[in-house]
Amino acid sequence: MKFPKPYALKTIADLIDADFVGDENYEVLGANEIHVVEKGDIVFVDHPKYYDKALRSKASVILINKKVDCPEGKALLVSDDPFRDFNKLTHFFKPFEKATQNISESAEIHDSTILQPGVFIGNHVKIGQNCLIHPNVTIYDHTEIGDNVTIHAGAVIGADAFYYKNRPEGFDKLISGGKVVIQNNVEIGAAATIDRGVSGETFISEGTKIDNHVQIAHDTFIGKKCLIASQAGIAGCCVIEDEVTIWGQVGLASGLHIGKKAILLAQTGVSKDLEGGKTYFGTPAEEARKKYKEMVYISKLPEIYKKLK
């Protein structure tokens, strides 16, 4: 989430009613998630376990719940509840805008693009040339779509992240102020869902093909020329490199890194980073050939048990 213009540190601190450490005129440019944060951005952290990671990230301003030593060239926003105050920022800079019609007047859509009936296009959406958006597709605010993109019926682009803080009084939702970016030559299947970033982008790179019912969660990055088959689910903040093949009903936990040209066979469940160039299978995922060997040994168990007797 980039702010519309740079804001002085003091202005931001006043906005969320927090203390600050640093030059009051320090320029703040936006806010983002820690794995993709950039210079000028705010990142928030509310658990001591992650203080170091946040303080050493590329973030220029750390919204934190303890007055720690401020790293040189950076600034702190000190709050008793960084999660709540990050939501205040999102609420201020990216307020929800109610739709007044099916296709927002603020949307920029190239003339050559076809929108079938029942399509919803939110505010500030951009869609390039020669796209085909099939019926009953929903495209939330701020989504950016390139050229030659086909989206099949019932797909939902840009719904909120599934991201909550567990408080005694109930789950507190992290407001999603990010967006979805879809590059050229992408195809997205029927009833597929791609959630927006929390403060950054969920990114689908050029030439990637996504099948029906696929779920791609907030802030995940999908590389170029990936194939993602039906009913696969990719949790938030993953990085999938180029030319990865993900077969049907595969599931990936959040924050994983999958190397270039990895192949995940159907129904595989991934809970750890995977090197590229290899084929994986099973839950939890292992190299397929190792898994196949295991399966052979399991089939020999009756024989082993007999021998032992």
Angle at 20 between CA 83 and CA 237, to 5 degrees: 35
Q: Is 195 in the site for a copy of itself (CB under 8 A)?
A: yes
Cβ-based nearer residue to a copy of itself, 48 or 284: 284
Q: Kind and range of the H or E element at 137?
A: none
- Binding to a copy of itself, residues 78-107 (CB under 8 A): 96, 98-99, 101-102
Say if CB 264 and CB 245 are below 8 A apart: yes
Catalytic option among 134, 142, 152, 218:
218
Closest CA to 87 of 79, 99, 97, 98: 79
Instruction: Please spell the DSSP secondary structure of 168-222, one letter per residue.
Output: TTEEEEPP---EEEE-TT-EE-TT-EEPPPSSSEEEE-TT-EE-TT-EE-TT-EE
Query: What is the smallest separation between the CB atom of 227 and a copy of itself, expressed in angstroms?
Result: 7
- Count residues near a copy of itself (CB under 8 A): 75
Binding residues for a copy of itself restricted to 126-185, rule: CB under 8 A: 132, 134-136, 138, 140, 150, 152-156, 159-160, 162, 164, 170-171, 173, 185
Select 73 or 302, whichever has its Cβ closest to a copy of itself: 302
Residues 208-237 that bind a copy of itself (CB under 8 A): 209, 211-213, 215, 217, 225, 227, 229-231, 233, 235
Q: Is residue 307 within the footprint of a copy of itself (CB under 8 A)? A: yes
Which of 271, 272, 273, 277 is in the footprint of a copy of itself by CB under 8 A? Answer: 271
Complex with a copy of itself: residue 60 or 87, whichever CB lies closer = 87
Tell me, yes or no, if 218 is annotated catalytic. Answer: yes
Give the containing element (helix H, strand E) for 4: strand 2-8
Q: How far is CA 167 from CA 84, 136, 172, 254, 283, in A?
A: 11, 36, 7, 21, 31
Kindly state whether residue 251 participates in binding a copy of itself, applying the rule CB under 8 A.
yes
Q: How does DSSP classify residue 228?
A: E
Active site residues per annotation? 218
